[in-house]
Amino acid sequence: MTGNRWEKAGAIISNTILVLLITVALLLAFVLLQSRLEGGEPSIAGHRICIVLSGSMEPAVKVGSIVVVQPLAAEAVQPKDIITFRGANSSSLVTHRVDHLDTANSLFFYTKGDANSVLDPAPVPAERLVGRVVFTLPYAGYLLAYTRSREGLLALLALAALLIAAGLIRRSSGEKKGRKHNASKEVTAE
């Protein structure tokens, strides 16, 4: 009887893991497709997803991490917040901590990377604010960057297909096992 319980528990756990992996693969594929169609950083529910490329925010934000950036009004930013903003050339994004604000004439953020010993060379005008970092996932940016490549996207699709096939094979073999078990019960009942 206990062997049967362990089999059921194992089946439930493996099915849950399979569903989670398929969900993550589909979500990642959706985000990547959306990113390619829009031609920018991927986003989910209005939150931008960015990959950290430098160590200026270590140890709080590691190189290769994903940061989820929530848009917000510039007036809501407080000292110590980690914000993402457009660099001076406006094509790159920078994620640094707010050291202090300047509201004398207009709103400016004075920022600094945690690993840096001095403030960034120029204050950030409020117009360049993208948002505040609300979540960090260490090292997941390496995976996201890989899946944005042609080879990575193909590997992701192959993995999703493999997981779906594995689930179908398991379900099929489980049904066969159940039919054999039921058939043996019928034979012994006669």
Question: What is the CATH number for 150?
Answer: 2.10.109.10
Q: Which of the residues 14, 54, 92, 149 is marked catalytic?
A: 54
3-state helix, strand, coil in the chain (%, to 5): 50, 25, 30
Q: Token digits for 34?
A: 């959306």
Domain span holding position 107:
39-156
Peptide bond into 123 cis (omega under 30): no
Asked whether residue 90 is domain-assigned, the answer is yes
Q: What is the pLDDT of residues 126-176, one digit of tens each?
A: 999 999 999 999 988 888 788 778 888 788 778 878 877 887 887 777 666
pTM for the model stands at 0.68
The residues of the chain scoring below 70 in pLDDT are: 1-3, 32, 35, 39-40, 90, 174-190
Verify whether residue 54 is a known catalytic residue.
yes
Asked whether residue 181 is domain-assigned, the answer is no
* Residue 123 pLDDT: 94
Asked whether residue 67 is domain-assigned, the answer is yes
Name the nearest CA neighbour of 109 among 89, 79, 132.
Answer: 79
* 96: exposed, middle or buried (Cβ count in 10 Å: 0-12, 13-18, 19+): buried
Question: For the chain, how many structural domains are there in total?
Answer: 1
